[in-house]
Structure 1
Amino acid sequence: MAEGKGIRDQLLLDVQSPPEHALGKVTVVGVGQVGMAIAFSIINKRLAGELCLVDMDEKKLKGELMDLQHGLHFVSHMTLQASVNYDITAGSKLCIICAGARQREGEDRRALLERNIAVFKGIIPQLVKYSPDTILLVVSNPVDVMSYVAWKISGFPHHRVFGSGTSLDSSRLRHYMSERLNIDVSSCHGFVIGEHGESSVVVWSGVNVGGVRLIDLNKDVGTDKDPERWLDIHKQIVDSATEVIKLKGYTSWAIGMCVGRLAEALLRNQRSIYPLSTMAKGFHGIEQEVYVSLPAVLAENGINAVVNITLTDHEKEHLHKSANELHELFKSANL
C-alpha cells in the first residue's frame, strides 16, 4: 500500500465531485408491513435516487435497512437511509405516510381517528419542515380522513396532499371482473369512488370491457334485480381487506404495488388517472369541504385535474351519502 493512502485513494483518482442524484428523493414514514411493501416496490421500479425510511422503532429500522441494502446489487444504484429522526428526509420530492395506530378489537373509527391524528401531528410538521416543497401521499387508514388531516396540518395546497383512496378498491373490482369473465385483468375497466370503505361506490354505469359497457348488455347490472348478482362484487371489494387480514394477519403486497404505481405516475410525470382521495368540494354537487376518492390526473406536481366522470342519479346519490358520512367523521376530528 502506498504510504499514507488507503485503498479508495489508490483505486480512484477523482476528477470532480459526483453529481446529485438524477432521480428524486422519496421518504416512506412507517416501516410496518405496508411501508416495507411500498419501499420494496419503489426499489424494484427504480423510481428514486434516494429512499429514506423513518419510524420510531430504531431496531426494526436498522434490520429493514440492512436487508434492503444487501439486495441492491440485483436492482440498481440507490442510496438508502433509515432513521428515527426526520432530518434525513430533507429535500424529498415525495413523502409517503403509512404510519398510524392499528384498530383495536371493538374500537370504533372515531377513537382510532383520534389516536392517528395525534400521530400525524408529530409526523406532518417534521416532513414540512425539512421538505417544504414535497408532495404528501397518505396511505394510513382511515385514508380519506387522514388525507384531510394531513392537508390541514401541512398548510399545503390540496393538490399536493392526497391519499391512495380507492385505487386499490378499483384494482380489486377489475380482479373480480376478470375472474368472472375469464379475461386478463388489464382488459377490465371501471372505477370505485367515494370512501375507501363500506360506503364506497362502484360506478357500474362506466364498467366496461373493450369499450363495451356491461350496463348495455344487462341494464340491471349492479342492482338487486340482476340475476347474475354482479352487485356481490362490491361486497367482495369491501370485505377483501378483512378476509386477507383474517388469513395472514395483515395486508401488504397489493397496497404496496398500488402505491408503487402511484409513485411512478408522479415521479415520472405520466399524467395517469387513478381514483385518489382528494378535495371533492365543488364536484358532483358536493358542498362540504371533504376528501373522497374521484378519478384524478396525477403528475409530478401532484393532482393536476379531477375527471368529470359521468354518474347516474343513483350513483351520485350514493357518492353524496359517502361524502356526508365522511364529513361527519371529519367534524369530530380534534384538530
Structure 2
Amino acid sequence: MYITKSKISIIGTGMVGSSIAYALMISGLTSRLVLVDIDEKRAQGEAMDLSHSASFIKPIKITAGDYADCKGSQIVIIAAGANQKPGETRLELTNRNVEVLNSIIKPLSKHCPDSIVLLVSNPVDILTYVTHKSGYFKNGRVIGSGTVLDTSRFRYLIGQHCQVDPRSVHAYVLGEHGDSEVLTWSSASIGGMKLLDFCRLAPGANENWKKDIDYKVRKAAYEIITRKGSTYYAIGMATKRIVEAILRNEKSVLTVSAMINNAYGISDVCLSLPTIVGSRGIIRTFEPKLSTEEITELQRSADTLKKYLKNL
C-alpha cells in the first residue's frame, strides 16, 4: 500500500540531509517533512527555502523542529555527522560520528520507538550496527543506506561501457560501503545474458575494462570530494529510492545495510546484501550465488568492519 499521508524526519541538515530533503520534496512521496539539526537556525533556513517552492510541487508541510516533533514519523533519516575530508576513508570517521550518533538515538527513541530508522551518515555500516545494538528500535527497522549508491555507480559505469541503459543492468555491490566493498561480476547480467559475455561484444572492449570500472566505483567518492568537497546529490537520490520502497511497500530488492547472521559464514556485523525492503523495513536478505573469490572478499570486508567495531 502506498502511504500518501506519510511523515518523514531528517536529523542533520548539512549538504547530505538537505539534498535528501530536496529529493523527497520533489518526489511527492511524503506530505510532512521535519528537519532537525543541532544548528537550529540552519534547519529553519533549509525548511524556509524548501517551503518557498510550494507552488511548484505537490502539497507538503516542511518544518524545522526537535526530536519531539519527529513523533509519528514513518521513517527517521539520520544524516548528521562529520563529512569525509580529502584523503580520509569512511572508516576513519568512526569515533567522531559514533559520538554524534549516540547523542541522537536515545532521545530519538523516546519519541519514535516504532519508526524505521534509516542511517545515511558514514561509516554507515558501523553506525547501523551501533543503532541496532542499542536495542531502542524494533528488529528489522534499523536500515543503513549501504551500497545502494555504489550499486548505482556500478550499473552506470557498466551501462556506459556496454552502451546500455543502466536501468537494464543487473549487478550488485555488496559488503562494506567503503574500500573493501565487493563488485559481484559473476552474477551480473544484461537482458538475461551474462554480463561478461555481453561486454566482450561491446565496442572498445579490452582486458582492462573491468579493472577500470572497479577502480571508478571504489574511488568515486574520493574523486568527487577532491573536486567539490563532498558528495550529496547521488546519496540524496539513493535515500529517496529506499524511502520510496518503504512507503509504497514495494518489496524491492536493494543493497541496504542490515544486521547479518550466518550468511556466507558471516555473523554479527552490518553490511550490504540483496535485501527485500517494504513497509516493515527489512523483510528478507538473500545470499546470491557468488564466486569463491567474491565470497572470500565479502568475508574480508566483514572482518574489516569488525576490526573497527572492536575499537569502539
TM-score range, shorter chain: over 0.9
User: Higher Cα Rg: structure 1 or 2?
Assistant: 1
Distance 1:100 1:243 in 2: 21
**Native 8 Å contact 2:87 2:222 kept in 1:** no
Distance 2:164 2:199 in 1: 19
* Greater Cα shift, 289-298 or 231-240: 231-240
Could you tell me which amino acid in structure 2 is paired with residue 28 of structure 1? I
Name the TM-score, length of structure 2 as normaliser: 0.93
Which residue number in structure 2 is paired with residue 14 of structure 1? none
Could you tell me which amino acid in structure 1 is paired with residue 238 of structure 2? C
Which residue number in structure 1 is paired with residue 203 of structure 2? none
Distance 2:90 2:159 in 1: 32
Distance 1:34 1:109 in 2: 15
State the percentage of identical aligned residues: 39
Distance 2:197 2:254 in 1: 24
Structure 1 residues 50 and 218: CA distance shift in structure 2, 3 A = closer
Specify which of 263, 266, 271 is matched with residue 283 of structure 1. 263
**Native 8 Å contact 1:158 1:279 kept in 2:** no
Write out per-residue CA displacement over residues 228-287 of structure 1, whole angstroms, 9 at most, x where no aligned residue: 43132111011111111111221111111110011001011110011011111211221x
| SS of structure 1 residue aligned to 2:289 | coil
Which residue number in structure 1 is paired with residue 240 of structure 2? 260
Distance 2:283 2:86 in 1: 39
Which residue number in structure 2 is paired with residue 167 of structure 1? 148
| SS of structure 1 residue aligned to 2:245 | helix
Is residue 280 of structure 2 the alignment partner of residue 315 of structure 1?
Answer: no
Which residue number in structure 2 is paired with residue 274 of structure 1? 254
Specify which of 300, 308, 312 is matched with residue 279 of structure 2. 300
Structure 1 residues 109 and 62: CA distance shift in structure 2, 3 A = closer
Structure 1 residues 202 and 163: CA distance shift in structure 2, 3 A = same
1:155 deviates by 3.0
Could you tell me which amino acid in structure 2 is paired with residue 199 of structure 1? S
Specify which of 163, 183, 190 is matched with residue 182 of structure 1. 163
Which residue number in structure 2 is paired with residue 238 of structure 1? 218
Distance 2:89 2:22 in 1: 32
Structure 1 residues 81 and 202: CA distance shift in structure 2, 3 A = same
Which residue number in structure 2 is paired with residue 328 of structure 1? 307
Distance 2:245 2:282 in 1: 11
**Native 8 Å contact 2:86 2:222 kept in 1:** no
1:60 deviates by 1.4
**Native 8 Å contact 2:67 2:107 kept in 1:** yes
Residues 1-335 of structure 1 aligned to structure 2 (within 5 Å): 22-83=4-65, 85-103=66-84, 112-216=93-197, 227-286=207-266, 288-333=267-312
1:151 deviates by 1.1
Name the TM-score, length of structure 1 as normaliser: 0.86
Distance 1:118 1:327 in 2: 18
Q: Give unmatched runs, 5+ long, in structure 2.
A: 201-205
Q: Give unmatched runs, 5+ long, in structure 1.
A: 1-20, 220-225
| SS of structure 2 residue aligned to 1:323 | helix
1:107 deviates by 6.4
| SS of structure 1 residue aligned to 2:257 | strand
Distance 1:154 1:67 in 2: 36
1:158 deviates by 3.7
1:77 deviates by 1.2
Structure 1 residues 22 and 198: CA distance shift in structure 2, 3 A = closer
Distance 2:69 2:261 in 1: 35
* Greater Cα shift, 243-252 or 27-36: 243-252
**Native 8 Å contact 1:81 1:88 kept in 2:** no
1:104 deviates by 5.2
Could you tell me which amino acid in structure 2 is paired with residue 304 of structure 1? I
Structure 1 residues 69 and 109: CA distance shift in structure 2, 3 A = closer
Distance 1:216 1:292 in 2: 29
| SS of structure 1 residue aligned to 2:236 | helix
* Greater Cα shift, 150-159 or 323-332: 150-159
| SS of structure 2 residue aligned to 1:28 | strand
Distance 2:198 2:168 in 1: 17
Distance 2:300 2:190 in 1: 28
| SS of structure 1 residue aligned to 2:273 | strand
Distance 1:52 1:40 in 2: 12
Distance 1:205 1:275 in 2: 16
